[in-house]
Structure 1
Amino acid sequence: MDVEGGTMSGRKPYASPLREAEAAATRARIVDAAAKLFVRDGYAATSLKAIAAAAGVSVQTVNLHGPKHALLAAAYERALADREGWASLNDTDPMQQIIAEPDPERLIAMYAAFMTAANARIAALLRTLRAAADADPAVRDVYAAIDERRLRSIREGVALLAARGVVPADRSDDATALVTMLVSTDTYLHFREAGWSAERYREWLAAELRRAVAG
């Protein structure tokens, strides 16, 4: 084997920025197409062939990015935080900007705005995910993992506020329970379906979050 040009050289394969960008763009098209079809047609009724057609790629290419339940998980992650693969919502860029805010009042207002917009983006997809979880064990696992990350992210956020003295030391558990309820997609949908505007919900959420963390 050619030590200079082959794998024995120990050199890493050349990574082309252009090729990586093209691959990322293809991935984004596939996940976005899948998300729209899952919401419009339902998870079970959406085929990989339909996703391929909507994304403008081959079925083989979709298969490389699948299986289907993985595309559903990726669609949810992208809708919530504009990227995939995060272990905690607090690790994403939007939440890092919020966490970096030193003023507690401003931080809570930013978080309320973020969660209002995030719930608007994920509401339809979350309904699809829940419906599919009833019939598909793989999707059920996806939903369980999403819910676990959601709860962990909230616990971490409340712990951060407690460390800053915003949440009283003896109120962390209560504050976590209240924040979990307040920022849930179900709560968002309850008020939106009752006729509230997104702005009214955001203002209400910010006020209730302040009360929840302060006790």
Structure 2
Amino acid sequence: MTKSDAVEAVTPGRAYESPLRRARAQATRGAVLDAAATLFVRDGYLRTTMKAIAGEARTSVETVYAQGGKSALLLACVDRALGGDEDDVPLTDRADFAAALAHPDAADVVEGYVRAFAVVGARAGGLLVAFEDAAASDTATAELWAAAEQHRRLDLRRLVVAVAERGPLAHGWSVETATDAVWLVVTPRAAHTALTTLGWSIDLMAEAVTAQLRALLLPRSTLPTSGT
């Protein structure tokens, strides 16, 4: 058997991909995304150049471009920060959110969902603020930000729907009106400000936002008493 025969026998019908090569490619991508995220937060998206990302990552500009253009890097950094990894799993399908949605009690759904969002806010807040700031002065980034905001609204709508499935919403609101109200309160910038400027812990931020959202969504008669 020749060497080529042996390779074909091991990997019939497809090219062989070395695990080592795959690991190196993943490590390179991780380094580039780490560098990009650092610079986007520190210097702002618009001021960050691909050359600067290459320097921060200690690699070539060509290697950085191989991971995508600057906007693609921004979106990849945001997705990774939101989910904590690069797995293609929607944010609210992840374990913490799914567990929150499984609670039978509406007040507990709100608490669990907010806590999951608080952890995400701590992880991704700086990047999301940099993203929003760039959108204010760059048309292409503004379009990406608008799409991201629609995704955020849909994520929050899942919370409102879950609460509505367990009883009437407060104020006689519809699901859409309640979603808009929550969307105005639960923002990346507010979370980032709470954790940085105010120096709040994740627990304190989650407690404060939970109280806000329970007041927005739950009829007064169903609100938990103080201390619960």
Same fold (TM over 0.5): yes
Q: Are the counterparts in 2 of residues 89 and 149 from structure 1 also a CA contact under 8 Å?
A: no
- 8 Å CA contact 1:192–1:201 kept in 2: the answer is yes
1:48-127 alignment, distance < 5 Å: 48-84=50-86, 88-127=90-129
Deviations 1:153-208 (A, max 9, x none): 11233223333x24549642333123212321243356557746233332121122
Match of 1:174 in 2: 177
- More deviation, 68-77/123-132: 123-132
Measured on the aligned residues, the alpha-carbon RMSD in Å equals 3.2
Determine helix, strand or coil for the equivalent of 1:46. Answer: coil
Using the size of structure 1 for normalisation, the TM-score is 0.79
**Larger CA deviation: 13-22 vs 37-46:** 13-22
Residue ranges of structure 1 left out of the alignment (5+ in a row): none
- Are 1:185 and 2:188 counterparts? yes
Percent identity among equivalent residues? 33
SS in structure 1 of the partner of residue 150 of structure 2:
helix
Please state how far the C-alpha of 1:36 moved relative to its aligned partner: 0.7
Under a length normalisation based on structure 2, what TM-score does the superposition of the two structures give? 0.75
Aligned partners of 2:13, 2:95: CA distance in 1, in Å? 33
Cα 1:170–1:130, aligned 2, differ >3 Å: closer, same or farther? closer
Check conservation: 2:78, 2:127, Cα contact below 8 A: yes
* Cα distance in 1 between the residues matched to 2:97 and 2:20: 29
Which whole-Å CA distance do the structure 1 matches of 2:29 and 2:100 have between them?
28
* Native 8 Å contact 2:113 2:159 kept in 1: no
Once the two structures are superposed, what CA deviation does each residue of 1:3-48 show, in whole Å capped at 9, x if it has no partner? 9988xx9813334444333322322221121011112122222121
Cα displacement (A) at 1:68: 0.4
Q: Deviations over 1:96-125 (max 9, x none)?
A: 343344554443222222222322333322
Aligned residues between the structures: 211
Alignment match, 1:205: 209
Structure 2: any 5+ residue segments left out of the alignment? 220-228
